[in-house]
Amino acid sequence: MKKETKLVPFRLAWVQTFLAVRNEGSFSAAARVIGCDQSSVSRSIDQLNTFLGGKLFDGHTPPKPTALGLAFEAKAVELMDWASACRKLKDLEAAPPQPARKGLRNRLWDLLAR
């Protein structure tokens, strides 16, 4: 019998928040850029920490990435590039449909596995 796979909720906003903290150098600066309060940034990072099973930043100010944070950053940039490319798919509406390639739906997982 095939084991059922439980889907775990994942929010792209967590990734955007993580990258904002990395780019801005603090939770409060990231909050200003994103347009939310600092507690929302902290909550998003906590949820991402839980999802990944580790800490992305140490407890210092300014926040310094842990080894997990550094490894995740490269994947986060790739994921945001992928999401941006997906948003551009609307530009293809005028083009004639192309047949789907075998295994296309697994490409996200392949990208994340790199």
- The residue segments making up the domain with residue 56 are 12-87+101-113
Domain count of the chain?
Answer: 1
| Structure-token pair, residue 60 | 């210092």
Q: How confident is the model at residue 103 (pLDDT cuts 50, 70, 90)?
A: low
What are φ and ψ of residue 65, in 5° steps? Answer: -70, 145
Q: Compute the distance between CA of residue 46 and CA of residue 13 in angstroms, rounded to an integer.
A: 13
Q: Is 98 a residue whose pLDDT tops 90?
A: no
First and final C-alpha spacing in the chain: 30
Q: What is the pLDDT of residue 107?
A: 60
Mean pLDDT, the chain, whole residue set: 85
Q: Compute the average pLDDT of residues 72-100.
A: 82
How many residues are given for the chain?
A: 114
Q: What is the pLDDT of residue 87?
A: 84
6 occurs within a structural domain? no
Q: Compute the average pLDDT of residues 29-55.
A: 96
